[in-house]
Amino acid sequence: KVAVYYAFGEIDGSTSSLEEGINSKKVIKELRELREDDDVKAVVLRVNSPGGSAYGSEQIWREVTLLKAAKPVVVSMGDYAASGGYYISCAADYIVANPTTLTGSIGIFGMVPSMEKLLNDKIGVHFDVVKTNKMADMGDISRPFNAFESEAMQNMVNNGYKLFVKRCADGRQMTTEAIEKIAEGRVWTGSTAKELGLVDELGGLDKALE
């Protein structure tokens, strides 16, 4: 039989068992079960996701790669399969998208809030810190990043972006240079994505099943 697996919502990289969205822990477990089920001869992965956690996307990407090594995997894109939604799709053997699917958005960003003005000026709460090394309180919301922390955060984002580009290049059998030209977070319709090589064919779930 051909299994259809629905991956809908934002991608969560936590180890919780939340039912809403695409929980990476739950998805990995269920994709592994499909991989180990000898009655399942192929899998259609129906993706409808704007993305989410880079860590969760990488985990699901790995499981899709293992699944593809065991049996054919075809992705069917819904209204959108962007950012992490494309990340978990790019390893498939074949990608089918609707002409109006929003896809691509090959990019990554990181964000840490600073509540210094709220805490100090509005509420009147102030903090003293005791730490054993200069990075011990990185991400403390009571103050903004210093220059060293900003550089570390930017390096993490840059490395995540390079890995995303590599995953797409390997999955689509394209060069990293070719992916970079259409990456940088830009969003494409399914029709344009097909022209760019990010999608193989236009159609709906029926086409993917075929």
- CA dihedral (20, 26, 31, 34) positive or negative: negative
- List phi, psi (to 5°) of 104: 80, -120
Indicate the residue type of 184.
E
Q: Please list the alpha-helical segments (H only) found in 95-140.
A: 116-117
Catalytic residue status for 53: no
Integer Cα distance of 103 and 97 in angstroms: 9
Say which of 49, 53, 57, 83 is annotated catalytic. 83
| 133 token code pair | 């090394």
Provide the annotated active-site residues.
83
